[in-house]
Amino acid sequence: MFPNSILGRPPFTPNHQQHNNFFNLSPTVYSHQQLIDAQFNFQSADLSRAVSLQQLTYGNVSPIQTSASPLFRGRKRLSDEKSLPLDGKRQRFHSPHQEPTVVNQIVPLSGERRYSMPPLFHTHYIPDTVRCVPPFREIPFLEPREITLPEAKDKLSQQILELFETCQQQISDLKKKELCRTQLQREIQLLFPQSRLFLVGSSLNGFGTRSSDGDLCLVVKEEPVNQKTEARHILTLVHKHFCTRLSGYIERPQLIRAKVPIVKFRDKVSCVEFDLNVNNIVGIRNTFLLRTYAYLENRVRPLVLVIKKWASHHQINDASRGTLSSYSLVLMVLHYLQTLPEPILPSLQKIYPESFSPAVQLHLVHQAPCNVPPYLSKNESNLGDLLLGFLKYYATEFDWNSQMISVREAKAIPRPDGIEWRNKFICVEEPFDGTNTARAVHEKQKFDMIKDQFLKSWHRLKNKRDLNSILPVRAAIQKR
């Protein structure tokens, strides 16, 4: 994908340089001077001097061959590079010589109506050898816990299951995003050698579709980053790097100077759209919390997918336009399943506080889904009844004026008195930092539109018991 990359660059800091057991980053990493140094690294004609390249062994993989070959001197291969070992040469994204990412190949079989919590990758992570945050491709999961999809005896439930099986993200989709993340991490580490790039959001939390964009979080240090100043400066350097060094492989890179700034871009090889932020660490934590909920009970993922498709069709699933984000919608579904007379989901943060504490070190967060067994609910409602109940709950039962949705507490709780919650139309508590994930809904017109859609869809679905009455299934499948 990026032929001007040094693919032999070790992704970890050598042991003799490690001190901090969280990120191996001291609290003063990337001070103002170091940001200047990063800019100097970017402008340097030989960026390979920004890092020291050493051999490193990962599990059963042979040591990575490294070299100090010049970088970014055009696409023409230099004559002195021909003598380099193959592993150290610059390679294309889909080069046959490039070591493939090892991904579990189990894909849900529609005929058997089965799916699994896929182990992400098989290579072993050894904390004693590498004590910083492991790259995503080296995160180990236990063997998959196979889950049988729920039975669908009625028409509405069958429609929901068919939509889910057609539109759910496949392992091949995840591989494309992970390969891009791996290459981008190597490139960004030329600017910030100790940084780490994480794939987060729907791509990894179990609620992705085939058309889901990729969300990336660039972690440069363990302490918070000022989003208005420091994060913008870091992303400015990254954006410039994308525009100048990687313009042949990344298109439309755009720096969005929002409250939480991001760089938006499209990878030409995988054709995936990405959003990249800096140090939104809570996004990494909630990714694995939601992943655990996704595979905890076999009705959760199909229900979330159909509700996201429904909300998108009715134009109430776009935070940039003042409606609900996908993250808020997922939390709303989880909350509903927690508050049924016979709950389908518990509060994981109450039952497993050690696994889902904000104090858990980031390199251990990925282990949480492996430590939680399936949840056995006595509730036998089918998918059709649950979809209808979800619409009814938010159309007629939930008190928008005085209550806040809390997945952490597994119930609706009184709104806080803080300024962040005052005069807000919808309050959805972020499970880790307690902020309002639905703060984008700040206009009464948009709020009324959301409530109206819940009410209308509930009435239509109750009368017809046909998914097409609230969501054109064929059109939704075509969009994937």
Least confident window among 108-122, 164-178, 217-231: 108-122
Mean predicted lDDT score pLDDT of the chain: 77
- The region that residue 465 occupies, defined by phi over 0 for left and psi between -120 and 50 for alpha, beta otherwise, is left
* CATH number, position 283: 1.10.1410.10
Query: What is the average per-residue pLDDT within 205-212?
Result: 94
Residue numbers of the domain that contains 318: 155-478
Interatomic CA distance for residues 345 and 325, integer angstroms: 22
* C-beta separation of 335 from 403 below 8 A: no
| pLDDT tens profile 210-261 | 999 999 999 998 888 999 999 999 999 999 999 999 988 899 999 999 888 9
Neighbour-count burial of 185, counting CB atoms closer than 10 A to its CB (0-12 exposed, 13-18 middle, 19+ buried): buried
Number of separate domains in the chain: 1
CA 456, chain centre distance (Å): 32
Which is higher by pLDDT, 14 or 287? 287
Residue 429, in any domain of the structure? yes
In the predicted structure, residue 139 carries a pLDDT above the cut 80: no
| pLDDT tens profile 63-98 | 333 333 333 333 333 344 344 333 333 333 333 344
Length of the chain: 480
| pLDDT tens profile 400-413 | 999 999 999 999 99
Interatomic CA distance for residues 355 and 250, integer angstroms: 37
Q: Which of 58, 68, 62 is CA-nearest to residue 9?
A: 68
- pTM flag (> 0.85): no
DSSP state of 101: P
pLDDT of residue 195: 95
In the predicted structure, residue 132 carries a pLDDT above the cut 50: no
Residue 339, in any domain of the structure? yes
Interatomic CA distance for residues 405 and 411, integer angstroms: 7
* C-beta separation of 405 from 335 below 8 A: yes
Residue 407, in any domain of the structure? yes
CA 3, chain centre distance (Å): 26
Residue 107, in any domain of the structure? no
* C-beta separation of 203 from 118 below 8 A: no
Residue 348, in any domain of the structure? yes
Residue 419, in any domain of the structure? yes
Q: How many helices (H) and strands (E) does the chain have?
A: 12, 9
Interatomic CA distance for residues 394 and 424, integer angstroms: 16
Residue 66, in any domain of the structure? no
In the predicted structure, residue 284 carries a pLDDT above the cut 60: yes
In the predicted structure, residue 263 carries a pLDDT above the cut 90: yes
Helices (DSSP H) in 393-467: which residue ranges? Answer: 444-464
In the predicted structure, residue 287 carries a pLDDT above the cut 90: yes
In the predicted structure, residue 123 carries a pLDDT above the cut 80: no
Residue 245, in any domain of the structure? yes
